[in-house]
A and B are shown apart, each in its own frame.
Chain A
Amino acid sequence: MATEQGYALPPGFSLRETRADGSQEYFLNMGPQHPSTHGVLKLVVRLDGETVIEVVPHLGFIHRAIEKMGENETFVQYIHLTDRMDYLSSHINNLCVCLAIEKAMGIGVPERGEYIRVMVSELQRIQSHLLWWGAFGMDLGAVSAFLYGFKEREKITALFEELCGARLTMNFFRPGGSNADVPENFLARVKEILEELKFSLDEFEVLLTKNPIIRERTLGVGALSRERAINYGCSGPVGRASGIDFDVRKHDPYSVYDRFQFDVPLGKNGDCYDRYMVRMQEMRESIRILAQAMAGFPEGQYRSKEKASYKVPAGSYYANVETARGLYATYMVSDNSFKPYRIKSRSPNFSNLSAINEMSRGGKIADLVAILSTLDLIIPDIDR
C-alpha cells in the first residue's frame, strides 16, 4: 500500500493530489457511526472541499457468519436466521428459504397458504418502503417525515404482531405454508390499514414528492445508467429506476404472483428522484395486489401436511424472491441430510451498494447522503 507522509492510505484509494495552488484533497470517514449510513457502514470519502472524488465502502462491521451458522442448523431452523439479514423484509427472506426447501422436497402449498404468503409479502414491502420514506425525509432534513413514515408503518407492524407474535424477526413462513393461520379479523384489518394508507400516501406526496427542495436535491443526483446498473447487478427499485425492467414477481413468478395484475414501475435516468418515485409507485402497486388478493382470499388449509423432519435430498437448489430491496436468492447444497451442506444468500443490498462510487462521484456530501438514502441499504444484509 502506498504511503504518504507516513500515513497509510485507505485501501482502495489512489493517491491524493496536491494542486498547483497548494490546496489538498482530504479523506473523510463517514461512519461506522454516522446518522445517515443507517447502521455500521463505513464510507471513506475522498473530498475536494465539499465535492466527492471517490467513495470506498468498508464492510464487515456486523458480519455474523449467518451462512456458516446455517450449515450447523436444520433447514427449518435456518429460516429464522434470514430474519436477521434484511430485517425489513424478513417475511420475504423466510419465504425464499421455504421456496427452496419446497422445491427440493416437492412440497405443495395449499391455495390459502399461497394467498397468505402474497398478502404478507406485499404488506412487508409496503412497511419497508414506509420506513424508507421516513428515513429518506430525515436524511434530507425533513424530520417530521420520519415520524409520519413510522406512524403508518406501525399499523402494519401491529398487524404482524397479531399475525405471528413478532414485530421485526417474524419467522412466520414454513415449508408448505405458514406457521399459523391468519387471525379472524385479518382481512378487515388489512382493508382498514390500506384505506388509511391511501390517505397518508397522498399526504406524503404533498409533503415531500411535490416539494421543490426535494426535487432540486434529487433530480439528476446520483444517476446510474441502465448498462452500468446491469453491470453492478443492481436490482429492485434501484435497478428499476435505471430502467431495468426486472421484477422477480413478474418475470419469474413465485407463489401465486402470476395471478395478480400489477405494473412494474420503471424510471428513466436512474437518479435519486427516479428511485424515490419508483418506491412511491411500488407502494401503490402493492396496494393493488393486496386488494386483488383480499377479493380472492380462499378458505381451506393454510399449510400442507407438516413433515416430521425435513430431510432434503442431495443436490443443489435455488429460489429467488423480490424483497423490498431487490432480488434475494437462496442457493443451497444438500448432501441428503437434515442440515444444509452449504447455504448461500444473494442479497440485493450488496450489489446495490457497489454502485455508490460511480453514483456519487462529482457530487456534494449532501448528494452522497441522498444517494445513500435512496439506495435504501440494510447493512446487516450486506455483511450477513
Chain B
Amino acid sequence: MPGRVYQCLSKIGESIIANKDFLTELDREIGDSDHGINMARGFHAVLEKVDPEAADIGASLKKAGMTLLSTVGGASGPLYGTAYMEAGKVLAGKTELTAEDMKAALEAAIAGIQKRGKAVKGEKTMLDAIIPASETYAAKIAEGADIVSALTAACQSAREGVEYTKTIIATKGRASYLGERSIGHQDPGATSATLTLEAIRDFLRG
C-alpha cells in the first residue's frame, strides 16, 4: 500500500496526464504547443522516481521537484521543480499535513516560483491562479475552516484566476510575444496549477 504522499502525487499526476492534450492545446494558442506534453512526461517520471512507501512528505516533494526539474524542461520545469522543492523544504520530516502546514507549503512554493521566474501577479502566469488561491486558503483557515473546505474555496479562487488570465495581456513567457493577441486565451500554466490544487483537494477529501 503506497504512502499518502505518493497517493497524493499520483492523484496530481493522473490529472495532469489526463489533461495532457488540453494543456497542450491551450499552449498551442498562445505559446509553443508543449505544456501538457512536458508536464505529462515529468509526472510519469515523478511516479517512477518517488518512493511509494515513503512517509516523509517533505522528502517526497523534494524528490518530485528534482525529478520535474530534470525531466520537464522549458520554463515549467524550473518553476514547478522549484515549487515542489520549496514546499518540500517547509514540510521536511513531516508525516502528517495540518492546515497550517498546507498554508506554509503553498506560500513557500509561490515564493520559489516568483524568485525563479521573476514574475508578479497580473502577468498571465500560473501566479494568477495560485496567489489568489493561497490568499483565500489563508483567510479560510484563519476563520477556522478545515483543510478540505479551505482548499475547496482556494480552488474556486484559482479557477477565477484562470478566467482572469483570459482578460489580460501576457508579459512573461512566450505568450508575451503576442501582445494583445494573447487576450481571450487562458494561461496554460495557471490551468495546470489549478488542476494541481484540485487534485490535492480531491485527494484530501478522499
**B partners with A:** no
Chain A positions within 8 Å of B, measured between CB atoms, are: none
Interface residues of B (CB under 8 A from A): none
